[in-house]
Amino acid sequence: MYREAKLPSQKNKPNHIWLVFFTILFLFLIGWYLGLRFGAISYSHQDLIEVLRHPLRNSKLQDVIFDLRFPRTIAAILVGAGMAQAGAIMQGVTRNPIADPGLLGINAGAGLALILAQAFIGSMHYSLIILVCLLGSTVAALLIFTLSYRPRKGYNQLRLILAGAMIATLFSAIGQAVTLYFNLSTQVIGWQAGGLSQINWRMLSIVTPFILLGLLLAQLFAHQLTILSLDETISKALGQRTLAMTISLLAIVLLLSAASVAIVGTVSFIGLIIPHFIALFVGKDYRKLLPLAAFAGATFMLWVDLFSRIINPPTETPINAIISIIGLPCFLWLIRRGKNL
Amino acid sequence: MKKTLTTLLALFAVFALVACGNSSSQNSEKKSSSAISKMPEIQGFTYYGDIPQNPKKVVNFAYSYTGYLLELGIVPATYSLDLEKDSPAFGQDLENATQLTSSDTEAIVAQEPDLIIVFSTDENIDQLKEIAPTLVIEYASSDYLQMLTNLGQVFNKEEQATAWLNQWDEKVAEAKKDLSNVLTNDTSFTVMDFYEKNIYLYGDNWGRGGELIYQSLGYAAPQKVQEDVINKDGWFGLSQEVIGDYIGDYAVVNVNSGTKEAASSLKESDVWKNIPAVQAGHVLEVDYNLFYFSDPMSLDMQLEAFVKAVKEANN
């Protein structure tokens, strides 16, 4: 029918988008509902409705549902969306299917900054921790970009990937050395394992603007990203200023993932699994891929957080353990199935 | 290709020979003149080689028992945790000690120890027992007081052990009497510490003040702590949502400079503020570095610090 008109990546892809969207929406709503009801304590449907009707009336129920679970589910949504979208952008910008925000040194930079601050300042209030992590990620990202950019020769993706892998490894090595030397492992292990516990409204108020801004900007740049992801020559021929575009997009990745990492600690794989999963259905058109990946990422994180609370209550399981256990088999399956990976 | 392989093999053989040579020479020079311990049969104690009765140079990896050794007058030449060196209870005793881990084989040999002490869970026992006589202790195989008697028997210092135990009983009884106007036997305590993403509770044999409060002083644990912590692993990671169910009349929170501000979001939450013990001001912050161990030297100082903290909370 439309044989000639389609991009190669869209070949043989029936129009599943709405089906995908509604499936995710369904899982999202269920995940959020269950996330509010279940955890170390289980509440009935009536309890939940009662609290939602009067969110500010103080009670034991409200203390848990509104003060603890609401912020953490919202954090899960923002972080999932941010990390998935950041991953999709990284893969587009570097034209490399296994790129993720980690290659921009986000996890490593934030981790090192936190460890150094713990070593030299000592114990910190959470608002300071968030600030330190944001700063660390930014420094790492800037360093990696500077290393991958050469005057007159410009920047190239391969160098970005290499510089990223190198700096990330270097930073985590320094981090480990400092951890050992100052005996900080008990203090930082929770952050490294990642988790949404102890997130409150104030933490959210610090990072939410960054993530929302990032999500919004990403939509505006989505079409340009599709063009950039094709090929350097093609995108230049289409009139794109590739360097400026790359820098803007990397800045968005930084915004999204640094803010996410600052509140939950190290998160891996989401930026890798979710975009590839969504790309199975919508192809590499970033105008559709980015919003759907964000939505799917948010849903995935909601479920991961729910599992982290209900696997072994009242103990919480670190989210990275769950992401790896659920995520890796899915990812391997995707690799075997997907042809354009 | 073949040439490289041969060279590699040759190199490997040389290394192996050198390594063997080293260990055998170590074996032969361990003969010393001092008396040999009776090596009594004690549950959880395993001996490799002839344990000296008065060891001169002890390489100690069983960090929980450092304070016991110090109490008996044996000063280890090495330590493994910064907590040992920084312990206010041990003072300057470990000032000249070196920090080692049990895999630092060469550094251990260089110490020329006449005794090595390790936990039974150590992975390097096989190498260590080739270096010097080795005493292997299973953690918590006897309770925290019996351990002093056990070590006293091994090193022929039973009198010192008994003397300390007797004065300890008196001190504890005195402290209980001192606190009897504010605490009864039914007053319940929860021993815990906070990290940025985790909350941990500790039972009656996991340090942090558990031995002192639950065993020596005999105060109660809340029902939930008894079920989930003491009757199970001895320590427990907890969700913030249910923390109120686990806190008794008092919470004993271990803090040091690295964790003072940790879990600020928890302490700002209504869930925390509405706990009766918190509202009554019954959160006792104690020094993590002092309360980490439960050896005689630490216990002596913990008791004073604990009495002081309880009195302050009730003023």
B149-165 pLDDT per residue, tens = 999 999 989 889 999 99
What contacts A334, CB < 8 A, 6 or more positions away?
A273, A276, A277, A280, A341
How close A202 gets to chain B, by Cα (Å)?
9
pLDDT of residue A34: 92
pLDDT of residue A252: 93
Percent of chain A with pLDDT over 70: 94
What mean pLDDT is predicted for residues A62-75? 89
A262 has a chain B CB within 8 A of its CB = no
pLDDT of residue B3: 65
A277-311 pLDDT per residue, tens = 888 888 888 888 999 999 999 999 999 999 999 98
Question: Does pLDDT of A234 surpass 70?
Answer: yes
In the block, tokens 């009884």 appear at B173
What mean pLDDT is predicted for residues A174-194? 86
Cα angle at B146 between B142 and B147, to 5 degrees?
Answer: 70
Where residue A172 falls (left for φ over 0; alpha for ψ -120 to 50; beta otherwise) is alpha
Inter-chain CB pairs, A–B, below 8 Å = 94
Inter-chain touch B197–A193, beta carbons under 8 Å: yes
What contacts B198, CB < 8 A, 6 or more positions away?
A190, A195, A197, A316, B237
Inter-chain touch A190–B239, beta carbons under 8 Å: no
**Could you tell me which residue, B186 or B10, shows the higher pLDDT?**
B186
Residues of B in contact with A68 (CB under 8 A): 240-241, 269, 271
Question: Does pLDDT of A27 surpass 70?
Answer: yes
Q: Helix, strand, or coil here: B73? A: coil
Backbone φ, ψ for residue A333 (5° rounding): -60, -40
Inter-chain touch A190–B236, beta carbons under 8 Å: no
Compute the distance between CA of residue B47 and CA of residue B66 in angstroms, rounded to an integer.
18
Q: Helix, strand, or coil here: B60? A: strand
Q: In the structure, what pLDDT confidence band is assigned to residue B4 with cuts at 50, 70 and 90?
A: low
How close A141 gets to chain B, by Cα (Å)?
25
Cβ proximity of A168 and A105 under 8 Å:
yes
ipTM above 0.85, yes or no: no
Q: In the structure, what pLDDT confidence band is assigned to residue A76 with cuts at 50, 70 and 90?
A: very high
A79 has a chain B CB within 8 A of its CB = no
pLDDT of residue B164: 92
Where does residue B1 rank: exposed (0-12), middle (13-18), buried (19+ CB within 10 A)?
exposed
Inter-chain touch B82–A183, beta carbons under 8 Å: yes
pLDDT of residue B284: 92
Q: In the structure, what pLDDT confidence band is assigned to residue A2 with cuts at 50, 70 and 90?
A: very low
Cβ proximity of B134 and B49 under 8 Å:
yes
Residues of A in contact with B265 (CB under 8 A): 126, 198-200, 202-203
Inter-chain touch B196–A126, beta carbons under 8 Å: yes
- Residue B305's identity, in one-letter code, is A
Backbone φ, ψ for residue B52 (5° rounding): -70, 150
Determine the residue among B241, B253, B273 to mutate to test chain A binding: the one whose Cβ has the most chain A Cβ atoms within 10 Å: B241
A254-276 pLDDT per residue, tens = 999 999 998 888 888 888 889 98
Q: In the structure, what pLDDT confidence band is assigned to residue A1 with cuts at 50, 70 and 90?
A: very low
Determine the residue among B190, B265, B269 to mutate to test chain A binding: the one whose Cβ has the most chain A Cβ atoms within 10 Å: B265
pLDDT of residue B25: 43
In the block, tokens 């995520």 appear at A327
pLDDT of residue B222: 93
A190-222 pLDDT per residue, tens = 888 888 888 889 889 999 999 999 999 999 998
Of the partner residues B197, B236, B258, the one whose CB lies closest to the CB of residue A122: B258
Question: Does pLDDT of B98 surpass 60?
Answer: yes
A37 has a chain B CB within 8 A of its CB = no
pLDDT of residue A216: 94
Structure tokens at B107: 């550094």
B47-67 pLDDT per residue, tens = 998 889 888 899 999 999 999
Cβ proximity of A288 and B212 under 8 Å:
no
* C-alpha dihedral (B92, B96, B101, B102), degrees to nearest 10: -110
Compute the distance between CA of residue A246 and CA of residue A21 in angstroms, rounded to an integer.
29
Q: In the structure, what pLDDT confidence band is assigned to residue A339 with cuts at 50, 70 and 90?
A: low
A180 has a chain B CB within 8 A of its CB = no
Instruction: Output Rg (C-alpha) for chain A, integer angstroms.
Output: 21
Instruction: Identify the sign of the CA torsion A41, A47, A53, A58.
Output: negative
Helix (H) or strand (E) holding B57: none
pLDDT of residue A150: 79
Backbone φ, ψ for residue A132 (5° rounding): -60, -45
Of the partner residues A68, A186, A189, the one whose CB lies closest to the CB of residue B240: A68
pLDDT of residue B28: 41
Of the partner residues A63, A189, A314, the one whose CB lies closest to the CB of residue B271: A63
* Average pLDDT of chain B to the nearest whole number: 86
B-side interface with A, Cβ within 8 Å? 81-82, 195-198, 228, 236-242, 257-266, 268-271, 274
Backbone φ, ψ for residue B67 (5° rounding): -65, -30
Question: Does pLDDT of B202 surpass 90?
Answer: yes
How close A191 gets to chain B, by Cα (Å)?
7
Select from B246, B146, B149 the least CA-distant residue to B199: B246
- What are the strands, taking DSSP E only, across chain B? 45-48, 58-60, 78-79, 98-99, 115-119, 134-137, 189-194, 199-202, 235-238, 250-255, 283-287
Inter-chain touch A315–B237, beta carbons under 8 Å: yes
State the pTM of this model. 0.84
Determine the residue among A68, A79, A183, A197 to mutate to test chain B binding: the one whose Cβ has the most chain B Cβ atoms within 10 Å: A197
pLDDT of residue B287: 92
Inter-chain touch B241–A123, beta carbons under 8 Å: no
Residues of B in contact with A265 (CB under 8 A): 197
How close B32 gets to chain A, by Cα (Å)?
36
Q: Helix, strand, or coil here: A58? A: coil
Q: In the structure, what pLDDT confidence band is assigned to residue B23 with cuts at 50, 70 and 90?
A: very low
Q: In the structure, what pLDDT confidence band is assigned to residue B17 with cuts at 50, 70 and 90?
A: low
Question: Does pLDDT of B24 surpass 50?
Answer: no
A305-336 pLDDT per residue, tens = 999 999 888 888 888 888 888 878 877 887 77
- Long-range pairs of B120-127 with CB within 8 A, sequence gap ≥ 24: B120/B44, B120/B46, B122/B61, B125/B48
Report strand pairing: B98-99 vs B78-79.
parallel
